[in-house]
């Protein structure tokens, strides 16, 4: 049954934000990171101000690493609610960049108190032994972790073999097919629909990749490139036991074939970045994109330069018909070197409370709270989302990502090169993948021997 909530189209029921099946086995993820605990002292034992003693002013640093958050989002969704409830706590935003990488900050002993990062960024923090086990603080402060999306919690629990809890879920990322309605209208092509396959999407791409009024239009591009297709098929790049690249598989051949079919359409392949082509140049008809695009579309709307857009569920592979792009979480962590762990956890707990999460959800960030009632609020505060099919994000489930390893990026870089060679006709798929696997393994061995 389809219903309308504040001008946005929703369908009751459907796939959840994350399905339990989509993370089956996630508890075994990242086994190589076992023992990445921080400070052994239980912050639950820290001294607290006694009754009637006013809280002392404290400044906490908040590190944004490998996860997008605008200055305005930080002020409205983080700093403002903290200041309202805890006037004695001041937050200072620290952004990643030159001189502020995790490695540099840890070496200098200046890693911020609070860490906001993504699923992959958390691996870096764990590898540096930089974050606190939160179990003591969770128990001390009475935080009910049962209120969170269970598969998100299972994924987080996979960061430890021994029951340590190194992070809590701030929000869930999502993916969908964004499209420019003006381009479809210009060429008289029907809009994308929920439930399409990649074959369907490629068919539309052929109709939309053309020249009109001197402008060359592309039909389709991927936000994040070829590897998104591998994520959607839940493919690994590293064999977790041997820690060697594993790229010559049927799954990767399927992903590579699909990518080649998209890119070999005459006029649909160039070196231009997908997101600017869709949002700024506006010569890209369809963008298979991530949740951050919603905030950017809202920003364009606020500047008086709106895009005439809508969205549909992510096209799927017949091998994995329920999968969108890979699961991705935005996480909150606490530095094991922080001198204010109790206050830091008060901030974390506040940011996970219902009213703050509803505000976040209304801004187009998917809440980590599991109750489906929160879906009705999604994107309520986004003027650009009025009348849009935002329910599309709930029609597919994020694909389970295989266990992450510290060598993943090496293999991903090589497989991206293989995809480019194949799409350009420089090499056939089998040769390109064999060369990519061999080169990745050489680089991995060199890294192991450092």
| C-beta separation of 396 from 16 below 8 A | no
| Residue located via tokens 């206050």 | 343
pLDDT, position 51: 42
Overall average pLDDT of the 261-284 stretch: 93
Lowest-confidence pick of 15-19, 59-63, 71-75, 191-195: 15-19
Torsion from C-alpha of 422, 426, 430, 436, nearest 10 degrees: -80
pLDDT, position 31: 35
In this predicted model, which residue has the larger pLDDT, 257 or 44?
Answer: 257
Overall average pLDDT of the 12-30 stretch: 41
The backbone torsions φ and ψ at residue 24, rounded to the nearest 5 degrees and listed phi first, read -60, 125
Domain residues of the chain, as ranges?
Answer: 19-43+57-173+327-370, 175-325+403-448
pLDDT, position 240: 84
pLDDT, position 292: 85
Checking if the pLDDT of 41 tops 70, the result is: no
- Residue 91's SS3 state is strand
The DSSP line for 177-190 is EEEEHHHHHHTT-P
Overall average pLDDT of the 250-277 stretch: 92
pLDDT, position 150: 84
Checking if the pLDDT of 84 tops 80, the result is: yes
Token duo for residue 94: 């620290």
Overall average pLDDT of the 297-317 stretch: 96
H, E, C per residue of 314-362: CCEECCECCEEEECCEEEEEEECCCCCHHHHHHHHHHHCCHHHHHHHHH
Percent of the chain with pLDDT over 90: 74
Checking if the pLDDT of 8 tops 60, the result is: no
Highest mean pLDDT among 109-118, 120-129, 389-398: 109-118
d(CA 15, CA 172): 14
In this predicted model, which residue has the larger pLDDT, 305 or 401?
Answer: 305
Checking if the pLDDT of 29 tops 50, the result is: no
d(CA 226, CA 212): 28
Per-residue confidence band for 22, with pLDDT thresholds at 50, 70 and 90: very low
Overall average pLDDT of the 45-52 stretch: 40
Overall average pLDDT of the 417-429 stretch: 90
User: Which overall architecture, per CATH, does domain 175-325+403-448 show?
Assistant: 3-Layer(aba) Sandwich (3.40)
Overall average pLDDT of the 294-306 stretch: 93
The backbone torsions φ and ψ at residue 106, rounded to the nearest 5 degrees and listed phi first, read -65, -45
User: Quick check: do 19-43+57-173+327-370 and 175-325+403-448 share a fold?
Assistant: yes
pLDDT, position 9: 53
Overall average pLDDT of the 266-285 stretch: 93
Q: What is the mean pLDDT of the chain?
A: 88
The backbone torsions φ and ψ at residue 231, rounded to the nearest 5 degrees and listed phi first, read -60, -45
309-349: per-residue pLDDT in tens?
Answer: 999 999 999 999 999 998 889 999 999 999 999 999 999 99
Overall average pLDDT of the 45-53 stretch: 42
Secondary element (H or E) of residue 207: helix 198-208
- Residue 215's SS3 state is strand
What separation in angstroms does the CA of 27 have from each of 210, 213, 389? 47, 54, 33
| C-beta separation of 260 from 429 below 8 A | yes
d(CA 337, CA 162): 21
d(CA 388, CA 8): 5
CATH of domain 19-43+57-173+327-370: 3.40.190.10
Lowest-confidence pick of 54-58, 365-369, 392-396: 54-58
d(CA 262, CA 266): 9
| C-beta separation of 71 from 64 below 8 A | no
Lowest-confidence pick of 295-304, 312-321, 400-409: 400-409
Highest mean pLDDT among 198-202, 361-365, 420-424: 198-202
pTM above 0.95, yes or no: no
């Amino acid at each position: 049954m389809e219903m309308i909530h504040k001008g946005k189209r929703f369908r009751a029921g459907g796939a959840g934000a994350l399905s339990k099946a989509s993370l089956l086995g996630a508890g075994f993820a990242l086994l190589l990171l076992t023992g990445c605990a921080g400070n052994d002292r239980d912050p639950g034992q820290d001294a607290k101000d006694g009754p009637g003693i006013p809280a002392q002013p404290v400044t906490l640093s908040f590190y944004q690493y490998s996860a997008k958050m605008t200055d305005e989002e930080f002020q409205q969704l983080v700093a403002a609610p903290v200041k309202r409830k805890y006037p004695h706590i001041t937050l200072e935003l620290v952004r990643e960049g030159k001189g502020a990488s995790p490695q540099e900050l840890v070496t200098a002993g200046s890693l911020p108190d609070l860490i906001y990062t993504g699923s992959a960024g958390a691996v870096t923090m764990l590898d540096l032994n930089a974050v606190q086990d939160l179990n003591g603080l969770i128990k001390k402060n009475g935080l009910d972790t049962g209120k969170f999306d269970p598969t998100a919690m299972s994924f987080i629990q996979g960061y430890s073999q021994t029951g340590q809890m190194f992070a809590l879920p701030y929000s869930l990322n999502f993916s969908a097919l964004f499209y420019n309605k003006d381009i479809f209208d210009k060429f008289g092509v029907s809009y994308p629909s929920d439930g399409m396959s990649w074959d369907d999407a490629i068919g539309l791409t052929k109709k939309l990749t053309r020249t009109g009024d001197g402008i060359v239009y592309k039909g389709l591009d991927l936000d994040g490139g070829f590897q998104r297709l591998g994520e959607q098929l839940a493919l690994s790049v590293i064999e977790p036991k041997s820690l060697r690249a594993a790229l010559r598989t049927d799954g990767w051949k399927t992903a590579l074939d699909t990518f080649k079919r998209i890119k070999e359409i005459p006029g649909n392949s160039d070196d231009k970045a997908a997101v600017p082509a869709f949002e700024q140049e506006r010569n890209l008809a369809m963008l298979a994109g991530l949740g951050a695009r919603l905030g950017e579309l809202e920003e364009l709307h606020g500047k008086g330069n709106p895009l005439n857009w809508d969205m549909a569920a992510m096209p799927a592979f017949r091998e994995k018909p329920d999968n969108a792009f890979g699961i991705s979480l935005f996480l909150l962590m606490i530095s094991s070197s922080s001198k204010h762990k109790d206050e830091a956890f008060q901030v974390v707990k506040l940011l996970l409370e219902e009213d703050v999460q509803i505000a976040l959800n209304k801004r187009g960030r998917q809440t980590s709270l599991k109750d489906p009632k929160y879906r009705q609020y999604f994107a309520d505060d986004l003027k650009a989302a009025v009348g849009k099919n935002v329910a599309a994000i709930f029609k597919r489930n994020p694909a389970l990502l295989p266990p992450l390893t510290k060598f993943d990026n090496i293999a991903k870089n090589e497989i991206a090169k293989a995809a480019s060679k194949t799409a350009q006709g420089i090499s056939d798929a089998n040769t390109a993948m064999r060369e990519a696997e061999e080169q990745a393994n050489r680089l991995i061995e060199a890294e192991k021997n450092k």
